[in-house]
Amino acid sequence: DTLLSTCDIVSLHVPLTEETRGLINAEKLSLMKPSAVLINTARGPVVDAAALSDALNEERLAGACIDVFDTEPPLPSDTPHLQAKNLTASPHIGFATNEAFLKRAHMVFENIRAFLDGSPKNCV
């Protein structure tokens, strides 16, 4: 609660679990400064979409950037997030940087090399 009330930017990086579902709800949003920005690149249901939309439209929050939604894009045009003021949304592509693609490709090649050398990694 202290962090929510003092931070200018709150960026969420948590898995979706029963404990994190609705983690940022109307009560938590009310703790944030009106000048604060919320960033959600974690999972959509971590944030209460209707509460976020209300906070943005009532100018209780300066802005929000979201890359994840309760359902995957494409979203219905009446989705509360899409109607909110001061919202920047992307279609779940926040991971799609050149650096991330290169890192994943390198990991794949290293795993193939290890497998061919007889010592596979990350076996399930």
Side-chain-side CA neighbours of residue 20 (13 Å): 12
Tokens of 108: 């794949």
Active site residue 92: yes
Which residue of the set 58, 72, 104, 113 is catalytic?
72
User: Beta-strand (E) ranges in the chain?
Assistant: 9-12, 37-40, 63-66, 87-89
Q: Which residues of 65-103 are buried (b: 16+ CB within 10 A; e: fewer)?
A: bbbbbeeeeeeeeebbbeebeebebeeeebeeeeeeeee
Q: Token pair for residue 46?
A: 């971590």
The residues annotated with a catalytic role in the active site are 43, 72, 92
